[in-house]
Structure 1
Amino acid sequence: MNETGVQITAGLGGFLVLFGLCLAVWFLGRDLTRRLRRMRRAEDARLEQERQDRHRAAQEDPDAGPPRDEDPIG
């Protein structure tokens, strides 16, 4: 066996690269979460506006029948 005691490590450079990657993933995850929340709020507002429009149309035209609470997509 060789007893020279040579040790190979990543050192400070490897630590800094890994730390930078971790920060990038953290910032990307935070941004994704913020965008998803914004999209969910916009969709909820759109659906609520659509419900109000249908309700208003049903009040203006009583022959149209009761407003439907179905999802227009599914």
Structure 2
Amino acid sequence: MNETGVEITAGLGGFLVLFGLALAVWLLGIDLTRRLRRMRLREEDRVARELESREAQAPAATEDREPTES
């Protein structure tokens, strides 16, 4: 304790502010996780569609070529 005997603390207001900030950070973390998961799934779908289109075009491209004789 100090010389005057008065204890200075943040009190209820400080607790509520800190609790509000912690709650905001927690909610932002949940939102960020949700957005990252959604973005990853969209990218995986895009890559899968791109591979399917390449595979669909690949047999057509090989059929158009004339066989070469050695």
Deviation string 1:9-59 (CA, Å, 9 cap, x unpaired) is 000000000000000000001100100010000000000000000000012
Q: Which is helix-richer, 1 or 2?
A: 2
**Identity within the alignment, %:** 63
Is residue 2:33 matched to residue 1:33? yes
Is residue 2:15 matched to residue 1:10? no
Q: Aligned-residue CA RMSD in angstroms?
A: 1.9
Task: Work out the CA distance in 1 between the residues paired with 2:11 and 2:3.
Answer: 22
Aligned amino acid, residue 58 of structure 2: A
Aligned amino acid, residue 6 of structure 1: V
Aligned amino acid, residue 35 of structure 2: R
Task: For residue 62 of structure 1, report the CA deviation from its aligned partner.
Answer: 1.0
Task: For residue 63 of structure 1, report the CA deviation from its aligned partner.
Answer: 5.4
TM-score (norm 1): 0.78
User: 1:1-74 residue pairs with structure 2 within 5 A?
Assistant: 3-62=3-62
Q: Which protein has the larger Cα radius of gyration, Structure 1 or Structure 2?
A: 2
Task: For residue 3 of structure 1, report the CA deviation from its aligned partner.
Answer: 4.1
Aligned amino acid, residue 21 of structure 1: L
TM-score (norm 2): 0.82
